[in-house]
């Protein structure tokens, strides 16, 4: 099986969130709670159990998702038996941001639980529930723009358009990423000073040639999905 599987999404595409949350056996719930409390103590309370989206199914007309709690995902990442029982497949958004043929790259903060200090194309993150409409459908453009604003402080007013949506299944980690190319107004690539949020240690604009060189220098410290997206999208820049 390939590390990444692609679903090319038509424009517009639809994803809907089921109303009912999935249920699990009592024994699993007790184990989840035990792991959560252990991790909560280890991190001295720096742990938040919010709602996340998980992948259920996809066909040509619709993508179906469901809601669950973050603690279930954390627990299954610490217990292989729980992984097979719970089978939480989280959903996130990722973007490759372009301005004047330069690409935005971020270095992930050291405190992050996945890929600390790795480089990736910004933005990237979970789907904020404010992007879910009253009818259960999800505005992924809104979700991706929210990540862009929060992680880079780039106003959505600077965004020209988002294009070439794809759904990528990371088969090794069993997660699903809704990915889009974000095209900004050209003046953004001239910004030299950044005040990145807690997700990134630093942010930088690189030309296409500089990205190739940067990947060669730091290939072992790049998030695999970013390398995959670069191979797929570099011809569109």
Domain boundary pick from 91, 107, 130? 91
Asked if residue 166 and residue 64 are part of one domain, the reply reads no
Residue 123: name the closest of 62, 50, 85, 177 by CA.
Answer: 177
Q: Hey, what's the torsion of the CAs at 107, 4, 102, 212, to 10 degrees?
A: 80
pLDDT of residue 196: 57
Do residues 121 and 105 lie in contact, with contact meaning Cβ atoms separated by under 8 Å?
Answer: yes
pLDDT of residue 189: 66
Asked if residue 112 and residue 80 are part of one domain, the reply reads no
In a domain, 3, yes or no: no
Q: What is the CATH number of the domain that holds 206?
A: 3.90.79.10
Domain boundary pick from 63, 91, 119? 91
pLDDT of residue 73: 94
Domain boundary pick from 33, 66, 91? 91
Q: What is the mean pLDDT of residues 195-200?
A: 72
CA distance 119 to 107: 4
CA distance 159 to 188: 10
In a domain, 5, yes or no: no
Please state the domain count of the chain.
Answer: 2
Report whether pLDDT(235) > 90.
Answer: no
pLDDT of residue 91: 95
More confident position, 70 or 23: 70
Report whether pLDDT(213) > 70.
Answer: yes
pLDDT-derived band at 43 (thresholds 50, 70, 90) equals confident
pTM of the model: 0.87
pLDDT-derived band at 46 (thresholds 50, 70, 90) equals confident
Q: Sign of dihedral through CA atoms 40, 126, 91, 124?
A: negative
Asked if residue 124 and residue 60 are part of one domain, the reply reads no
Q: What is the mean pLDDT of residues 176-192?
A: 83
Asked if residue 232 and residue 115 are part of one domain, the reply reads yes
Residue 59 domain boundaries: 13-91
Lowest-confidence range among 5-19, 130-144, 176-190?
Answer: 5-19
Contacting residues for 71 by C-beta, under 8 A, at least 6 apart: 32, 33, 35, 36, 49
Asked if residue 124 and residue 67 are part of one domain, the reply reads no
pLDDT of residue 153: 85
In a domain, 107, yes or no: yes
pLDDT-derived band at 45 (thresholds 50, 70, 90) equals confident
Do residues 55 and 65 lie in contact, with contact meaning Cβ atoms separated by under 8 Å?
Answer: yes
Q: Note if the bond before 123 is cis, omega within 30 degrees.
A: yes
In a domain, 105, yes or no: yes
Asked if residue 52 and residue 69 are part of one domain, the reply reads yes
Q: Cα dist. 184→46, 163, 180 in Å? A: 35, 11, 13
Q: What is the chain's mean pLDDT, rounded?
A: 89
pLDDT-derived band at 61 (thresholds 50, 70, 90) equals confident
Asked if residue 102 and residue 45 are part of one domain, the reply reads no
Asked if residue 99 and residue 151 are part of one domain, the reply reads yes
Report whether pLDDT(88) > 80.
Answer: yes
pLDDT of residue 79: 95
3 strand-pairing partners: none
pLDDT of residue 190: 65
In a domain, 145, yes or no: yes
Q: What is the mean pLDDT of residues 2-13?
A: 82
Asked if residue 45 and residue 98 are part of one domain, the reply reads no
């Amino acid at each position: 099986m390939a590390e990444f599987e692609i679903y090319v999404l038509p424009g517009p595409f639809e994803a809907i969130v089921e109303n009912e949350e999935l249920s699990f056996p009592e024994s699993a719930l007790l184990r989840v709670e035990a792991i959560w409390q252990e991790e909560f103590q280890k991190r001295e309370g720096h742990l938040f159990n919010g709602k996340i989206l998980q992948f259920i199914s996809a066909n040509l007309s619709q993508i179906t998702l469901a809601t669950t709690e973050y603690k279930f995902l954390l627990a299954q990442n610490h217990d292989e038996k729980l992984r097979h029982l719970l089978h939480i497949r989280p959903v996130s958004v990722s973007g490759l941001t372009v301005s004047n043929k330069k690409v935005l790259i971020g270095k992930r903060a050291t405190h992050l639980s996945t890929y600390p200090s790795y480089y990736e194309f910004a933005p990237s993150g979970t789907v904020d529930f404010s992007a879910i409409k009253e009818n259960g459908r999800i505005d992924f453009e809104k979700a991706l723009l929210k990540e862009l604003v929060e992680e880079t402080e780039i106003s959505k007013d600077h965004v020209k358009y988002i294009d070439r949506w794809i759904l990528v299944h990371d088969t090794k980690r069993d997660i699903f990423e809704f990915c889009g190319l974000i095209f900004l107004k050209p003046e953004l690539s001239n910004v030299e000073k950044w005040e990145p949020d807690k997700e990134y240690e630093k942010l930088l604009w690189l030309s296409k040639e500089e990205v190739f060189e940067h990947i060669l220098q730091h290939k072992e410290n790049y998030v695999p999905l970013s390398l995959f997206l670069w191979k797929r999208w570099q011809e569109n820049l």
